[in-house]
Amino acid sequence: METLKEFRNILLGQKIKVHTDHENLTYKNFNSDRVMRWRLYIEEYSPDLHYIKGTKNVVADALSRLEKSETPPADTLESFLGLTECFANEPATPEFHPLNYQHLHIAQQADKTMMKILKMDDTQYKLQEFHGGGKTTKLVCYHGKIVVPANLQKHIIMWYHTTLCHPGINRTEETIGQHLWWPKMRDHISNYLKICPLCQRNKRR
């Protein structure tokens, strides 16, 4: 039920096979009002229902019965990098992460429009210090968010959109907008998503 609701825009109108250990859903006669309500909702999708015994439903068991450890393994802890570390460290390749403080600083200094706005008397652009990787870097910010120069904007949208597994405009914008900003950012994100080949092939909307 919850899966069908969550992915309605993708699943509705498609040919669906449902493997369930809830055998009551596969009966023609229902033994309770609750099961009837479930079945009525599910029938909107016209699924092909297949009963599978709970003991054989190993995929669900692997997720629902996964052992939890109070202390994460050391390698797991090392894999989580904060924003400072992620931006401060030089990436091995541009595909790994499009940003670090030094990279941003160089790109901002090369952006003539940004430097011109920064020098204006009534500008809302401010220089702010960022610490990471044993260095202090001054970056241009707008209301506390790092201003992304024009030559990095497309790269950033592509990286976040791909890393987040191709979300929609709102989620992509909200994620990038937590720490970064540039003029007409939403328009740029929207235009990029409209021509993303993977989204065009697999999303109904």
Over residues 114-134, the pLDDT tens digits come to: 999 999 988 999 999 988 767
Distances from the Cα of 55 to the Cα of 58, 62, 193, angstroms = 7, 12, 42
pLDDT over 70 percentage in the chain: 79
pTM, whole model, 2 decimals? 0.54
The range of the structural domain enclosing residue 140 comes to: 83-202
- Looking at the structure of the chain, the number of domains it has is 2
Distances from the Cα of 188 to the Cα of 57, 89, 144, 171, 201, angstroms = 44, 27, 21, 14, 20
Same domain flag for 96 and 176:
yes
Mean pLDDT of 96-123: 86
Asked whether residue 183 is assigned to any structural domain, the reply reads yes
Q: Give the residue among 104, 109, 105 at the shortest CA–CA distance from 119.
A: 109
Same domain flag for 36 and 128:
no
Asked whether residue 43 is assigned to any structural domain, the reply reads yes
Torsion of CA 29, 34, 39, 44, to 10 degrees: 140
| Residue 140: pLDDT over 90 | yes
Asked whether residue 149 is assigned to any structural domain, the reply reads yes
> Which CATH number fits the domain that encloses residue 122?
1.10.340.70
Mean pLDDT of 187-202: 90
What is the per-residue DSSP string for 71-109? S--HHHHHH---HHHHHHSPPSSTTT-S--HHHHHHHHH
Q: Give the residue among 57, 139, 45 at the shortest CA–CA distance from 99.
A: 139
The pLDDT, as a whole number, for residue 150 is: 92
Q: What confidence tens digit (pLDDT) does each residue in 73-86 have?
A: 555 444 444 555 55
pLDDT over 90 percentage in the chain: 32
Q: Give the residue among 204, 169, 171, 202 at the shortest CA–CA distance from 187.
A: 169
The pLDDT, as a whole number, for residue 103 is: 86
| Residue 203: pLDDT over 90 | no
Q: Give the residue among 168, 163, 160 at the shortest CA–CA distance from 203.
A: 168
The pLDDT, as a whole number, for residue 80 is: 45
Same domain flag for 141 and 191:
yes
CA 78 to CA 8: how far, in whole Å? 37
Asked whether residue 91 is assigned to any structural domain, the reply reads yes
Sorted by sequence, the CB contacts under 8 Å of residue 56 that are 6+ apart come out as none
The pLDDT, as a whole number, for residue 40 is: 82
The pLDDT, as a whole number, for residue 90 is: 47
13 with 204: CB under 8 angstroms? yes
Distances from the Cα of 43 to the Cα of 4, 40, 52, 64, 188, angstroms = 11, 5, 19, 26, 40
Selected residue with higher pLDDT from 153 and 56:
153
Token pair of 161 as six digits? 């959109």
Same domain flag for 94 and 146:
yes
